[in-house]
Amino acid sequence: MTISQGNLGLAYRSLKAAKGRSFLTMLGIIIGVAAVVLVVCIGQGIKDQISGQLGRYGKSTLTIQPTSSSGSAGVFTGLSGTSSNLLSENDLRVVQKTKGIATAVPVSTSSGSMRGDHTVNSPFIVATTAEFTDVINQSIQYGGFFDPDIDSKTVVLGANIAHKLFNDNSPLGQTLTWRDQHFVVAGVFNTFSAPPFSLEANFNNAVFVPYSTAQDLSGSVLGMYQILAKAKPDADQRQTTDAVQAALTASHGGSRDVAVLRADETDAGSNKTIHLLTVLVAGAAIVALVVGGVGIMDVMLVSVTERMHEIGLRKAIGATNRQIMRQFMAEAFVLSATGAIIGVAVSCAVVGLMRVYTSLQPVLVWQVLVVAPVVAIAVGLFFGSMPALKAARKDPIEALRHE
Amino acid sequence: MPLIELKDVSKLYGFGDATNVALDEVSLTIEPGECIAVMGPSGSGKSTLMNVIGLLDHPTLGDYHLNGKKVSRLRANQRAKLRRDEIGFIFQSFNLLPRLTAMDNVSLPLLYKGVSVGKRMKKAWDMLERVGLGDRAYYYPRQLSGGQTQSVAIARALVNDPQLIIADEPTGNLDSGSSRLVMELLSEIHKTGNTVIFVTHNPELTRYATRVVYMQDGTVKYDERTKLGEVGRYARSVMYAIPETTEEDDLAGVSAIMGVLHKRDATAVEPTKPKTKSKKAAKSKAKRRTNAAARKGSAK
């Protein structure tokens, strides 16, 4: 039964009659919509993961790290400390004594190969103190954290490095050799959530050794590239941050060469970058969408020329300009709407696949799922209106002569 | 009040030296209820006249009153509405939309009028029944024979109850059986009170007409009232001129054409000339020669 001769039905049928061409036209819209949706979803996913980093250090955790110039607490300060520009034990003590700080732990790095069942030549070695687990917000999968007061020759492993050193064997209680000394593995961390594109150190690859032991073995003062401090639960974050900053500035003789960052501050910094990137790439994707619209215009123009006779006939039996216009607008609408729906479906599928198969964890943002198709349809209608107008304004007799 | 009143209507194509006169100051008055056969050689302006009367084309000069209303300078949309409501068009090449069923094709003018789906279906069905194709409502044009296709086109022309039916060579693409079917349908429509204008090359078909208009060089050369069932006198002269060419004449080529022209000029009765200005002799003769050749071609 095909009597429902609405414009949309007609449009659908005439587009179906030229399947291949219709699909190619829609391809522009499909790619445009899918690109916009994917970029925004991936961007949002990265932002969410970085926000998830709050959980890694804990909300009340302050990150103290050296800067070359004051106030440039940017995104790329994660590992920027050089040997000439590191924090000292004195700094650690200053921080620990500041009002409102519950604990502060050093984060230093050391070098040398580690030998377990397998040898890892230059692992990421983090030297810290026993209070580390109080500051960071991460549970231990097996065993416990080391306590140098009981045994100075113990280490704790990140999930990845544990696998590298001991394969599938349980690393707990195994012996590691580092700088000709034997260490016992006291525990293994659960996997740290490590956001992609983050310049923060990935603790999953880290071997945690006691700070004092590392200092003894290296035979010199071990610089700290970061101090992690935890504020007291009742302390005001901002005040505490300012207090730490003031104390450190004072102990450094008035030069502000240390940055004190709140957890949400580091977060904000990287979010800004990701946001900017998302906007830029989404902009490029919108250009793709507009190009898709030009494709619609192109195909519609061909369609109008091809169906000139039909237009003439419809006019001969009484179709007004507006009715012809509407018919072709309906076609543009069906083209762009179908393309938009397919585009959204494709991007949803890709988001799903990415979540399963890659470390990116894109998130479906419903706003973009609505806005992208609406923009696509608007673009399609805009570019479809020109050919539709051309069709509508044809002189009936001229159009009829066209075969 | 006449249904159609053309006053000195001209249609020119092109500009300057390349100007082509399709209609040359045609004046024609048609009363409601007439059935008019328009005859004439190719290029004589029949189709242009149909297009002007059917509001598909503007006259370049002159006035056209339809139902007493001046329509020669109407805007496109008003013309479209008049075409939809007052005029039914039937084409030589049927002109159905190939992707629509017979039913949908017939209901198309109703769609443009804004009639609801249910009423559209009922009306389209009634029309198809009337032309004897009630059982073919859901066939596509490609599944129908030529006669059936033209019947569907007639149903479409009738569906909005127009006063005027214009058929531009409705039987041009049909065999004689189908031609008769289509002409019977048209004469039936005429009997129910519609005004019918049809173009034909077949003098036999003037039997269905109450009036025969013969056109040449963009003017009405001869205008005659006939009785239903009778071939028009002028049409008859054309009809009997053609078979006089034989196989040998064909082989003889140009001289044969000249011969035919001589014979026809000798036998053709030319009663009261209509009031159009006489053409320049040379031009009209040249035209006639080509016309005769064309007619000979179609007779074969």
Q: Where are the domains of chain B?
A: 4-232
pLDDT, tens digit, 9 for 90 and up, residues A13-61? 777 877 888 888 888 889 889 988 998 888 888 777 766 655 456 667 7
What are all long-range contacts of A7-13, with beta carbons under 8 Å and residues at least 24 apart?
A: A7/A326, A7/A327, A7/A329, A7/A330, A8/A330, A8/A333, A8/A334, A10/A327, A10/A330, A11/A327, A11/A330, A11/A331, A11/A333, A11/A334, A12/A334, A13/B99
Which of A213, A164, A159, A212 minimizes the C-alpha distance to A188? A159
Whole-angstrom CA distances from A369 to A36, A347, B284 are 9, 9, 72
Please name the residue of chain B whose CA is at the shortest distance from the CA of residue A9: B100
CB nearest B80 (choices: A3, A319, A400) = A319
Domain positions in chain A are: 7-52+270-401, 68-256
Residue in B190, B234, B189, B241 with CA at minimum distance from that of residue B214: B234
Position B198 scores a pLDDT of 94
Helices of type H across chain B:
46-53, 76-86, 102-113, 117-130, 146-158, 176-191, 233-241, 247-252, 254-267, 281-299
The per-residue pLDDT for A145 is 79
pLDDT in tens, A116-172: 888 887 788 888 888 887 777 677 777 777 777 777 788 888 878 887 888 777 787
pLDDT of residue B247: 58
Question: Is A317–B84 a contact, with Cβ atoms under 8 angstroms apart?
Answer: yes
What is the pLDDT at residue A82? 43
Q: Among A136, A144, A238, A131, which Cα is nearest to A188's?
A: A144
Residues of chain A falling short of pLDDT 50: 1-4, 55, 69-84
User: Is B217 in CB contact (< 8 Å) with chain A?
Assistant: no
pLDDT at A83: 42
| Chain B residues near residue A12 by CB distance under 8 angstroms | none
**Nearest CB to B77: which of A4, A321, A400?**
A321
Q: Is A207 helix (H, G, I), strand (E, B) or coil?
A: strand
- List the beta bridge partners of residue A258: A66
Of B89, B107, B160, the CB nearest to A3: B107
Nearest residue in A to B122, CA atom: A3
Which chain A residues are closer than 8 Å to B120 by Cβ? 3, 5
Q: How far is A402 from chain B (nearest CA, A)?
A: 12
CATH T-level fold of B4-232: Rossmann fold (3.40.50)
A319 chain-B contacts, CB cut-off 8 A: 80, 84, 112
* CA-wise closest residue to A318 among B84, B86, B160: B84
**Selection from A169, A179, A55 nearest residue A125 by Cα:** A179
User: Which of A328, A343, A345, A342 has its CA nearest to residue A381?
Assistant: A328
Q: Which residue has the tokens 């693409």?
A: B173
Which residue type does A55 have? G
Name the pairing type of β-strands A101-110 and B69-70. Answer: unpaired
B101 and A2 within 8 Å at the Cβ level: the answer is yes
Q: Are B102 and B130 in contact (CB under 8 A)?
A: no
Tokens found for residue A216 = 């003894």
CA distance B77 to chain A (A): 5
Distance CA B187, CA B182 (A): 9
Instruction: Work out the minimum CA distance from B41 to partner chain A, whole angstroms.
Output: 19
Quick one: pLDDT at residue A205? 80
pLDDT tens for each residue of chain B, 300 residues long = 899 999 999 999 888 888 888 999 999 999 999 999 999 888 889 999 999 999 998 899 999 999 989 998 888 889 999 999 999 999 988 899 888 899 999 999 998 998 988 999 999 999 999 999 989 999 999 999 999 999 999 999 999 989 999 999 999 888 888 998 899 999 999 999 899 999 998 888 888 999 999 998 899 988 989 888 888 777 777 665 554 555 555 555 556 566 667 776 666 555 554 444 444 444 555 555 555 555 555 544
Tell me the ipTM for this assembly.
0.77
Tell whether A315 lies on the interface with B, counting CB pairs under 8 A: yes
